[in-house]
Amino acid sequence: MQPSRRAFLGTARNLATACAAFGAAGLAGHAAAATPATATPAASGRDTPAGHARPAERHYLLTNVRLEEGFEREGGVVLATRTALHTLEIRDGRIVRVEAQGTPLDAALPRYDAQGLLLLPALRDMHIHLDKTFYGDPWQAPRRGKTIVDMIEQEKTLIPRLLPESQRRAEQLIALLHSKGTTFARSHCNIDPVSGLKSLEHLLLALEKHRADFACEIVTFPQHGLLRAQVEPLMREAMKMGAKYVGGLDPTAVDGRMEESLDVLFRIALDTGAGLDIHLHEGRPSGVAAMDYIIKQVEANPALRGQVTISHAFALAAMDDAEVAEIGERLAAQRIAIASSLPLGKGALPLPQLAEKGVFLMTGTDNVIDHWSPFGTGDMLEKANRYAQIYRIFDEFKLTRALAISTGGILPLDAAGRRAWPQAGDAAAGVLVAASCSAEAVARLPAREAVLHDGRVVYGGLKKA
């Protein structure tokens, strides 16, 4: 039975509040092989290995957890990462104690054994489209058009065919993300004349079913153009339904009126108290002009500082070093983040140079087996690995730093080698892997043995002690 419109909107607002709280706390103001389309990771405990369990208790001890302790140096060069076994006391979704293994703790508490596996911070997919995917259905390769407008025209007939099962596919995609260690995502969701608000309604229903094990920020995405498709009223309605960010798309290439298109987005964001996350595939000169205009708008509206993301930002790849340094300083000053899917080849962006200027970097799957791309594994650890390969990162220290692009900036050790995570008070969210340290995990991509979110094991299992 479908919920009434009023009941649905109430549920949507409650879900949005929960997601917003998670995002604000985790991002501090910002911030294995591919699974076949027909093979969906099991849910509801069916993926728990024999002899393992998922804690039913909200207060328990997790023993034999491998945590990073510091760096081993020789002549000032980091050669290795030192680890040791610890026990975590977890209560009501948070870590309340981190103690060396063997420290006497409450003997009455249930105990689960991590068996020496390394705990990494939970992974975050900061650019994905959960509402439109072929994942979970029989394989089909996309029929790529020559331009983005060609692809939009193709969507007009494809989206109505996807809509009836879009909630199911979104839930299967969440299960895939769980299996890769991701428990938080930022999902762009189509707001267009063809689907109206149906894509958003179906996505909200999928997220409601996963309220306890997955958190998500929704971006209202005018995929068919904001001005071109005249969807400003729909965008505003979607914000009322619980979206956290106002999305945009190529204001020159799609809408044909860069300033007017961006002005409408900024008005919606300011009117609703939301942030912005704008797809910008355009190269130069239009992409550079759009980035310049976005920065100026944030400078003029300080309430949006730290609330704006430019996704893709392909024009950065065409900039010389001086231009990158200049725009990097401007982006950092306004705390404008860059979300990149880490394209290969000539599309590689100057991300390390931007990071040096203080720009907050994020990555995401973008597409998972859909009509835009047949690729996308849903694996954010694989994205850290790709980052390291693109930018020729081979040494221990820099490999540990590469993990940050996939975790929202959370790293086990700070640059000096002091443990920064986990600490008492942190959310009980993380990924257990068979690796000696985070550098090895980034380089070797071990399987995710168990994934924790809010103290719950949402994938894999733990051995009962």
Helices (H) and strands (E) in the chain, counts: 12, 18
Is the pLDDT at 40 greater than 60? The verdict is no
Query: Range with the lowest mean pLDDT among 26-35, 88-97, 293-302?
Result: 26-35
Q: Model pTM greater than 0.85?
A: yes
- Residues 325-345 have pLDDT tens digits of 999 999 999 999 999 999 988
Rounded-to-10 torsion of CA 371, 134, 49, 205: 110
Q: H or E stretch including 96?
A: strand 94-100
Q: What is the mean pLDDT of residues 350-373?
A: 94
Helices (H), 163-257: 166-179, 198-209, 232-240
Map out the domains of the chain with their CATH numbers.
5-30+124-375 (3.20.20.140), 52-122+422-464 (2.30.40.10)
Answer yes or no: is pLDDT of 151 > 90.
no
Instruction: Say what the pLDDT of residue 147 is.
Output: 85
The percent of residues above 70 in pLDDT, for the chain, comes to 90
Q: Give yes or no for residue 48 having a pLDDT over 90.
A: no
Residue 33 has pLDDT above 70, yes or no: no
The predicted structure's pLDDT at residue 376: 87
pLDDT of 445 reads 98
**What percentage of the chain exceeds 90 in pLDDT?**
80
User: Given a cut of 60, is residue 5 above it in pLDDT?
Assistant: no
pLDDT at residue number 120? 98
Q: Residue 51's pLDDT is what?
A: 80
The 3-state secondary structure of 375-434, one letter per residue: CCCCCHHHHHHHHHHHCCCCCHHHHHHHHHHHCCCCCCECCCCCECCCCCCCECCEEEEC
pLDDT above 80 for 429: yes
Q: Is the pLDDT of residue 8 over 80?
A: no
Q: What does the pLDDT look like over 105-133, one tens digit per residue? A: 999 999 999 999 999 999 999 999 999 99
Q: Is 292's pLDDT higher than 80? A: yes
| pLDDT tens by residue, 243-272 | 999 999 999 999 999 999 999 999 999 999
The whole-number pLDDT of residue 346 equals 78
State the pLDDT at residue 28.
34
Helix/strand/coil (H/E/C) assignment for every residue in 264-299: HHHHHHHHHCCEEEEEECCCCCHHHHHHHHHHHHHH
Beta 77-91 vs 123-128: how paired, if at all? unpaired
Neighbours of 185 (CB within 10 A): 26
Tens digits of residue pLDDT in 164-201 = 999 999 999 999 999 999 999 999 999 999 999 999 99
